[in-house]
Amino acid sequence: MFSYTLREERRSIYERCLWCSNESEEAAEGTIQDESASGILLETEKPLAMSQRIWILMLPDEEITRQELSPEDIIHHPLSRTGIVVRQESPLRAGIRFDDSENKRLSYQRWYRGGSLIVTLSAEDWAVITLSGELNFESAVFLERIFSKSGKPQQEILFSCHEVKQVNNTALTVLRSVIRQCDKSGVMITIIAGSTMAESLGKNIGIKNGCLANIDAPPLQTKRSLKRELEAEAANGSHGVVLLARGAVGLNRLSAPMIRLGIPSWKTQNFREAANLIAFNKPLFVIVDVEIEQCPMLLELNRLEEYELEKLPPIMVIGPPHLSELIRTALKPPVKVYISKPYTDRDYMNGLKAMINQEYNMQKIQDAFI
């Protein structure tokens, strides 16, 4: 996690959010009046007590208050932030200081530097950093401190700057220098840029352990897309993927690449219902995220034999490392890929590629994941 102190800028944002405490029976709505990297001013519909510990979740550009999230969903959401009530401005308005003492949680922060907004989501060995608005000298120096943070450096960094509209040349020199230095240190950096930043950084940025992708670049017409490959499979009677996990957070993590790649998916948290979904929809394959206490429920998938399907769909299981062989033996549908927990999004994407390549021989699958 980021362990050093950085200067703050506080901004009025007026964003709706959901929040809860350990004692909450349901999620409550609130409005974030202003925010800095270390805390927020939160307006609620019921009073908060001094020193009360709460979790706050806001999803920019989403109608978050329409989402049916339980307190447990909020507490375990990767973008929720833990806070302590440290000031009461009025009965329904309180100052919240973020609390990063939960070392096992991801660290999610938003930073403001003039016309720049910098958002960081980080774990011990990886970080996602986004820059939007403008790249000015102050935000470039700030990014330098984040990219080359003290202590154990991240092994992987995803840097998204596709929403940058204005670039300062001096700031660009600073940013290009720190990216090259991280690359020399062995950090894998993937840069997602729009035309402005892609042209500014240039093709000769010289990173060896990562890549720069211009999302505004026109697609190559000669490449056959993954969507067309899947449409071809659908014409043969199979389409989509069934996703099975206990909890909305797990299902959302599994489905995110499917949405981006245009793969239809059916999601469920019910192991018994999963067999019915598979039999009815005849998916390309099935992805299951399971904890040790849920392993006995996996046997519900063996009910697929009752449907007398022409072919049992292959399965990718994400589960405890020591139960791999037991699960492979116990399940009737073939387990083609087993990913041991804890796992990264890169592990999951590699497993997804393997499933599609093994079952459908899509030689150009790599093109669809760029």
| Residues, the chain | 370
Residues 105-155 have pLDDT tens digits of 788 888 888 889 999 888 878 889 999 999 999 899 888 888 876 455 678
Confidence bin at 20 (pLDDT 50/70/90): very high
Most confident of 59-73, 190-204, 338-352: 338-352
Residue from 264, 275, 267, 263 nearest 247 by CA? 267
The residue among 1 and 307 whose pLDDT is bigger is: 307
Any idea what the Cα angle at residue 152 is, between residues 146 and 157, rounded to 5°?
50
Residue 51 binned pLDDT confidence (cut-offs 50, 70, 90):
very high
Measured CA to CA, the distance from residue 282 to residue 366 in angstroms comes to: 25
List, for residues 265-280, the tens digit of each pLDDT value.
Answer: 899 998 888 888 888 8
Q: In degrees to the nearest 10, what's the CA dihedral of 292, 293, 296, 297?
A: -110
**φ/ψ (deg, to 5) at 85:** -70, 115
Q: Are 108 and 99 in contact (CB under 8 A)?
A: no
Taking the C-alpha atoms of residue 138 and residue 72, their distance in angstroms, rounded to an integer, is 38
Q: Write out pLDDT tens, residues 29-38.
A: 899 999 988 8
Reference 105, options 78, 134, 142, 133; nearest CA is 78
* Alpha helices, H only, 33-168: 71-76, 137-147
Confidence of residue 199 (pLDDT cuts 50, 70, 90): confident
How do residues 81-108 score in pLDDT, each as one tens digit? 899 999 999 999 999 999 877 666 788 8
Name every residue whose Cβ is closer than 8 Å to that of residue 167 and which is 6 or more positions away in sequence: 134, 135, 196, 197, 200
In contact, 185 and 177? CB cutoff 8 Å: no
Residues forming beta bridges with residue 319, ordered by sequence position = 340
